[in-house]
């Protein structure tokens, strides 16, 4: 809830403004003088200041308010300040507005006008701050692109920026990394980034999809086999661990590895040693293992399907990749990437893409973009081109569908920026706050 500071020496004015603003879901704090107000501005999160211009009895020059205004600008250059006075000096008003005052209103004020002004200024300030953060993130990302290999990963969301930062950070070590997340979200791409930024980047990078291997061939695929070790093994087979010696081995869908395979994998992780199937010769390798799964390995451990000691070996560092519908800022950049930005996109199409749940994640989105490029006949992208229908514009209908989880995810996605979180769910800020109150969610 946005906090507004009212600075006025008249208790009646403070009470009237407090009642008015609290009725419209604002939190209000008051100060009777600039001296009392400055510590509040320094140490509290104030969204807007309503500042009187005169604080000494029989004083109408406005110099006290002018001095206070410049003090506020020095402390918080971007904080919106509305000046209130019964004695309007036009030349002073022009001066202070030129130096950043948001507005200059006379007493008695018009309630409706004041509320509209406050709401607009707070939303504008939040959008400006969000824009500044995005610009800073873009600068950081551009710098990151120059210093690191992102393997063509396309993203804009804060949550993905954090994940990429962590991936690059852990890449320099040889510890085991377990990447978790739903199918199609891009776990393999994170593994690519880890290897590309590691000290093994110029060595082999071998990928194995455990889930795609027949159980009876899984161990031979990983550890190799001598000729005659099993039916059909007519010659010696080099396993993936041998092939990856000195480099990185990516084990996708690790939860599907058989229990006997898990025992051998644990030994390799502990000692670097294993034997090919049908051989007693011990082979020693130096391999960094990165694994991934969409399964809940904690549940598999309880069910006896996955070894707990292996889990802790693999999961020295855990990276959780969120579903695409939890990082909506990535959707439109990905669409532009997959479609080569061939056509403009109307707002309703963008909304439809962002509101679609994408249960298949990035893989589903890529397929939808391929469909659009093949089938679209119009000069602009349409939701139907992607196999979607236009998003509903009935705000009441949308509001009924908004759950506590969606509110919490939006707040997390936009780092607590209520304006952007509300916008992502097609709600006004006040409607968003009402749902926060309904679900007992604090910012």
3-class DSSP string for 63-118: HHHHHHHHHHHHHCCCCCEEEEECCCCHHHHHHHHHCCCCEEEECCCCHHHHHHHH
Angle of helix 331-338 relative to helix 361-375, nearest 10 degrees, comes to 50
User: How many Å separate Cα 233 from the centre of its chain?
Assistant: 49
The length of the chain is 443
What is the dotted CATH code of the domain comprising 325-439? 1.10.8.60
* Residues in CB range of 101: below 8 A, 6 or more apart: 69, 81, 82, 83, 93
Q: How close are the terminal C-alpha atoms of the chain, in Å?
A: 8
- CA dist list (Å): 253 to 112, 168, 174, 209: 59, 22, 20, 6
Cross-strand pairs, 320: 180
Calpha distance 302→71 (Å, rounded): 61
Contact 291, 178 (CB under 8 A): yes
Contact 233, 225 (CB under 8 A): yes
3-126 with 325-439: one CATH topology? no
Residue among 8, 57, 16 nearest 34 (CA): 8
Q: What is the pLDDT of residue 164?
A: 93
Residue position matching structure tokens 């695929």:
221
Each domain of the chain, given as residue ranges in start order, spans 3-126, 150-322, 325-439
Q: Check if CATH label 3.60.15.10 holds for domain 150-322.
A: no
Q: What is the pLDDT of residue 42?
A: 93
Contact 395, 425 (CB under 8 A): no
Q: What is the pLDDT of residue 392?
A: 42
Long-range Cβ contact pairs of 359-362 (< 8 A, separation 24 or more): 360/183, 360/184, 361/182, 361/183, 361/184, 361/185, 361/186, 361/323, 361/324, 362/184, 362/185, 362/186, 362/324, 362/334
Calpha distance 53→42 (Å, rounded): 20
Token pair for 382: 């349409």
Q: What is the pLDDT of residue 335?
A: 96
Contact 297, 311 (CB under 8 A): yes
Q: What is the pLDDT of residue 231?
A: 67
Residue among 239, 249, 219 nearest 283 (CA): 239
* Residues in CB range of 223: below 8 A, 6 or more apart: 239, 241, 264, 268, 274, 275, 276, 277
Q: What is the pLDDT of residue 191?
A: 98
Calpha distance 63→245 (Å, rounded): 76
- Of the CATH numbers 2.40.160.40, 1.10.10.10, 3.40.50.2300, 2.40.50.140, which one belongs to the domain with range 3-126? 3.40.50.2300
36: enclosing H helix or E strand: helix 34-43
Would you put residue 181 in left (φ > 0), alpha (ψ -120 to 50) or beta?
A: left
* Cα atoms found within 13 Å of the Cα of residue 317, Cβ hemisphere only: 20
Answer yes or no: pTM beyond 0.75.
no
431: enclosing H helix or E strand: helix 429-439
Cross-strand pairs, 52: 84
What tens-digit pLDDT sequence spans the chain (443 residues)?
Answer: 899 999 999 999 999 999 999 999 999 999 999 999 999 999 999 999 999 988 877 666 788 889 999 999 999 998 999 988 776 566 677 778 777 788 888 888 889 989 999 998 998 888 888 888 778 877 876 776 678 899 999 998 989 989 999 999 999 999 999 999 999 999 999 999 999 999 999 999 999 999 888 877 888 889 988 887 776 777 888 999 999 999 999 999 999 999 988 999 999 999 999 998 888 899 999 999 999 999 999 999 999 999 999 999 999 999 999 999 999 999 999 999 999 989 999 888 998 999 999 999 999 999 999 999 999 999 999 999 999 875 444 443 444 567 888 888 888 888 788 877 887 777 777 778 878 878 888 76
């Amino acid at each position: 809830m946005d906090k507004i500071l009212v600075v006025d020496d008249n208790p009646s004015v403070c009470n009237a403004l407090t009642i008015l603003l609290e009725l419209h879901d604002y939190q209000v704090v008051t100060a009777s003088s600039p001296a009392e107000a400055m510590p509040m501005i320094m140490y509290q999160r104030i969204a807007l200041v309503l500042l009187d211009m005169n604080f000494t009895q029989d004083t109408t020059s406005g110099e006290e308010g002018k001095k206070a205004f410049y003090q506020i600008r020095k402390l918080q250059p971007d904080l919106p300040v509305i000046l209130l006075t019964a004695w309007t000096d036009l030349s002073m008003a022009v001066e202070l507005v030129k130096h950043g005052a948001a507005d200059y209103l006379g007493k008695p004020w018009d309630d409706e006008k004041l509320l509209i002004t406050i709401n607009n200024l707070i939303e504008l300030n939040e959008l400006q701050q969000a824009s500044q953060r995005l610009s800073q993130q873009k600068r950081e990302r551009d710098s990151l692109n120059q210093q690191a290999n992102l393997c063509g990963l396309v993203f804009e969301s804060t949550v993905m920026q954090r994940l990429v930062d962590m991936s690059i950070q852990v890449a320099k070590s040889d510890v085991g990394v377990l990447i978790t997340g739903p199918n199609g979200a891009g776990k393999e791409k994170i593994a690519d980034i880890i290897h590309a930024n590691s000290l093994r980047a110029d060595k082999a990078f071998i990928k194995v999809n455990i889930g795609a291997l027949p159980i009876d061939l899984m161990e031979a695929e990983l550890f190799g086999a001598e000729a005659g070790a099993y039916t059909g093994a007519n010659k010696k087979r080099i396993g993936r661990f041998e092939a990856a010696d000195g480099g990185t081995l990516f084990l996708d869908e690790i939860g599907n590895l058989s229990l006997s395979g898990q025992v051998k994998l644990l030994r390799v992780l502990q000692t670097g040693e294993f034997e090919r199937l049908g051989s007693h010769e011990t082979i020693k390798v130096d391999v960094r293992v990165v694994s991934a799964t969409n399964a809940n390995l904690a549940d598999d451990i309880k069910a006896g399907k996955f070894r707990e000691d292996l889990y802790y070996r693999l999961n020295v560092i855990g990276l959780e990749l969120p579903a695409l519908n939890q990082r909506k800022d990535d959707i439109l950049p990905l669409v532009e990437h997959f479609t080569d930005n061939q056509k403009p996109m109307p707002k309703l199409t963008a909304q439809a893409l962002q509101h679609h749940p994408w249960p298949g994640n990035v893989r589903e989105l890529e397929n939808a973009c391929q469909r659009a490029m093949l089938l679209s006949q119009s000069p602009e992208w349409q939701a139907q081109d992607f196999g979607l229908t236009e998003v509903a514009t009935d705000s009441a209908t949308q509001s009924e569908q908004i759950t506590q989880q969606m509110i919490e995810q939006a707040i997390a996605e936009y780092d607590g920026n209520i304006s952007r979180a509300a916008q992502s769910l097609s709600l006004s800020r006040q409607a968003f706050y009402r749902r926060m109150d309904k679900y007992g969610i604090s910012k």
